[in-house]
Structure 1
Amino acid sequence: MKGRWNGTPLLALAVVATAASADEMTLETEHQTLRLATVAEDLERPWGVAILPGGLYMVSERSGQIQSFYNDERQTVEGLPGIHVENQGGLLDIAASPDYADTGWIYFTYSSGDADSTATALARGRLAGDRLTDVEELFEQNRRSEPGPHSGSRLAWMDDDSLLMSVGDRGSPERAQDTNDHAGSILRLNPQGLAPEDNPRFEDVGYLPEIYSWGHRHVLGLAVDRSRGDVWAVEARGNGHDELLLIRSGENHGWPEGDDSDEAAGADLLDDIASGELFTDEEVIEPAYRFSSDVSPSGLAVVDSEHYPQWQGNLLVGGLENGQIYRFEVNGDEVLEMEELLEEPLGPVRDIRQSPEGYLYALIGDENGTLYRLEPEE
């Protein structure tokens, strides 16, 4: 299945990555040349990265640790709450508060529970040396389930300092269409983990107040375009149906009945959805782009930095399955161009972020992960 677009055909380019040194490679992209510089290595199942002002990096490892890096020194951060690591569950995303300089809050998501049942949860704490202090759990999804696939999760801050948090369908597709269940949705929370009263479905009967959008399988990339106010997400739909989504608040994004994969077809929605009703095609938001092969997209950044003048407003997306990094030029929900940045994969791409200083970072790998910085060549 090919991606949907209006107008200009998509341009897919394989861009050569040449070795410059053991710690640096060069990317010859369509618009500019980049150096892929190594920032941190030897990461165990990395999931997310938070880049803090002043050159401090915090990397979450799904196996249950946070690693911090500053001036080439590495520390394992202690003081995390109980985390159940199993299958795709464990320590998940990490993000600094927009007012980090004043409050010191670090937010993170993880699997809370035990071998019998887990839920995706949100907590925060303050970094003091090699330890988190003042740790408090802010939110836990309302329905626990057996540890398994699609725990999520990604975090993204909006301009009003509300926090978006994705939760996967936990391996049960029908849950993504149950709006009394947090699974299979993107949530919007205030900094204390509560639902803001201006959430799109806050007062609607049959909807949890935290829900921002639903009908999601497994959102592993989430970013806000601050200049346009757009929310973008990528999610793995399986069987070559992976999607780039322009999120519509208060709307259904179609998983599973908007998808014809085997997993979706096997869901007995009439019996399992609490409302007992199916949504019509007219009520499902179509993706901006559908990948034509298995990508398992993970990591998403909106580029608005002066370091990348030819990429303003573009999106960078990583691929877990194929180890590729994609650049999308977009106009609203229209994809104008798509460029593949790597000729040879470096490993599964876990996360892509833009730092406060405006540089782009890619977190790549599994048992032996690496954090790279994409530096424009002068």
Structure 2
Amino acid sequence: MLDIAEELDRWVEQGRDFAVATVVAVGGSAPRRPGAALAVDADGTAIGSVSGGCVEGAVYELCRQALQDGACVLERFGYSDDDAFAVGLTCGGIIDILVTPVRAGDRVRPVVAAGLRAAATGRTAALARIVTGPADLVGRALLIRDGDHDDRHEGDRHEGDRYEGGFGSHPELDRTVAAEARAFLDAGRTGTLEIGEQGSRCGAPLTVLVESSVPPPRMIVFGAIDFAAALVRVGKFLGHHVTVCDARPVFATRARFPEADEIVVAWPHEYLERTRVDARTVLCVLTHDAKFDVPLLQRALRLPVAYVGAMGSRRTHLERNARLREVGVSELELARLRSPIGLDLGARTPEETALSIAAEIVADRRGGSGVSLAGAHTPIHHDTAPAPAGRIGSVA
């Protein structure tokens, strides 16, 4: 749902009632990931998508029905061997979709509205909703905000936690889900978790969908060269916040990198020491100059980032690894280094090279093999099977 937060935030501001269908779980070759959403207002206006077109019509009708009866519905859509043209995913996938009415007076509306506002304004937040469990809990929502955010009402604050709303059940359930959702938020993940009704790992099970809204992941490109200019463009296309860093002011200029979000003139290792990185950050070292590479990689390979890649020939790679060992980089740390950077596409131009680097970053993030799908027996999407679905109660 947070993927269409800006539009839904406007609907809330306009006082519209709406129902939102959210992908909860996927299996097989499903086209959309958990968190993807389609919303329909009382006038029948629709925004968003849950399947890329396969089941939009059926989901639209479920949203219209939810607006009328106030019931939350969990529905499964999948491929039918008997009738490939029936409502379903003819690509062979399975998706579970939670349909939630968000109407004036609905208990869930204030929490959902706060989550939409946070996401629409670029704040870090996670929205947790109960997907399966007792009927009186299904659809209830809890909002976990970033630890630095502090503009909520005093009554919404909880000792030791930063969340608002709640499930109205056992108090430990709110605290436990908030803590679990914080881990999702720290990693920028959206997905489901299983938990007991009283907040423990035992007892009646609940399924909770956690949707994270986080700033774009960072891509830091070290080395203001032509290959870097192409990589900046690809990085922006993939949704990264891109920084270019180089110690040479004559090369690190806005004229050379107009699409970069930031341009930093500094020694790379010094900049890396003072800037913020996290588990989604990717570091691309394109300088292939030992005086820059060695101190930079010595630090980079010890940071909890998603990806570290370095450009250079195979000979450069071997020489650089030898220098890194000399300054104390361990074999385990060296094993994290993607060098020579990128997948083997036979790339020659800066644009082709940028594509090979981006492909490796995506494969590393998604667990892909990097081999051609044609003739391979690997899955197209690396997903887990969804849980059983059915009609599950009301959130009115």
TMscore range, shorter length: under 0.3
Which structure has the larger Rg? 2
Give the TM-score taking structure 1 as reference length: 0.25
Structure showing the higher strand proportion among its residues: 1
TM norm structure 2: 0.24
Relative contact order (alpha carbons < 8 A, sep ≥ 6): 1 or 2 greater? 1
